[in-house]
Chains A and B, each alone.
Chain A
Amino acid sequence: MGKMLILLCDSPFQNESVNNTLAMTKAALDQGHEVDIYLMMDGVYNPLTKQSGEPFHMESISDQMKNIIQMGAHISGCRVCMELRGVAKDDIPEGVDIGGIFDLSEGIAEADVVISVTGAM
């Protein structure tokens, strides 16, 4: 089985790439693969626990992230990006780690495949 790293830089409720990332993660975990997600830039907004999908009658991205953590995904976020945006440890679910560029570096070293979801056109 392989290990996939997804670098997620897009924000929730604005970019389908976030939903695609979650769907891809679930599919990979279902197939027995390991998945790491590293959140950078606006990607650090995705796990905010106070968000609600209610206005759009959808499950919140944060709840979906909790779900994939329970399925075995590992999620960590860039400390600097969180500080810049005012995202604190208390704002994100248990199981989402706060890390740094070294964690990304290590994730790249360990991954069999890396997918960058950076919003680049």
Chain B
Amino acid sequence: MAEKNLLVIIKSQPFTKLNYYEALRVGVGLWDHEVTILWRGEGVYATLKNADRTLTGQFFKELPGLDTELLVDEEDLAVRGFTSDDLVEGIQPVGKNVIRGFIEKSETSLVF
């Protein structure tokens, strides 16, 4: 099976709907591809240290071991009043230029 460069974009808020959970389940399940996960927009709330992780806690433990790159849009964080100090360890804040680079190199993107 051909491995692909896959970008999972999570822009749904981590409440109301379970998109944020299913996106991570997909991110973990597609481990045989090169997966990058990017939180942006309302999705950034899921990257905060104090966010509820009742459903997603296991995924946050597993993802670093799968060599999955974990990114968050730093501008979307900033407009909501958060900085890199508020983030879960292992998630890297990145600017729009870096995000553009990831989008350009990804062969497939799944948006949740």
Contacts and interface: CB of A to CB of B under 8 A. Distances in A.
Real binding pair: yes
Interface of A: 7, 9, 40-41, 100-102, 104-106, 108-111, 114, 116, 118-121
Contacts of B112: 116, 118, 120
A38 B108 CA distance: 15
Given A109-B3, A114-B108, A119-B17, A101 B22 contact: no
Given A9-B22, A108-B6, A111-B108, A120 B11 contact: yes
Interface of B: 1-4, 6, 11-12, 17-19, 22, 25-26, 29-30, 32-33, 108-112
A107 to B, nearest CB: 10
Interface of chain A: mostly helix, strand, loop or mixed: mixed
Contacts of A106: 1
A119 B23 CA distance: 12
Contact of A101 (B4, B19, B30): B30
B111 to A, nearest CB: 5
9 contacts: A7-B110, A9-B19, A9-B22, A40-B26, A101-B25, A104-B29, A108-B33, A114-B110, A116-B109
Given A108-B30, A109-B4, 11 more contacts: A105-B29, A105-B33, A106-B1, A110-B2, A114-B108, A114-B109, A116-B110, A116-B112, A118-B19, A120-B112, A121-B11
A104 B32 CA distance: 11
Contacts of B11: 120-121
A121 B110 contact: no
A41 B110 contact: no
Contacts of A9: 19, 22
Contacts of A7: 110
A121 B10 CA distance: 10
B4 A40 contact: no
A116 B111 contact: yes
Contacts of B3: 109
Contacts of A40: 22, 26
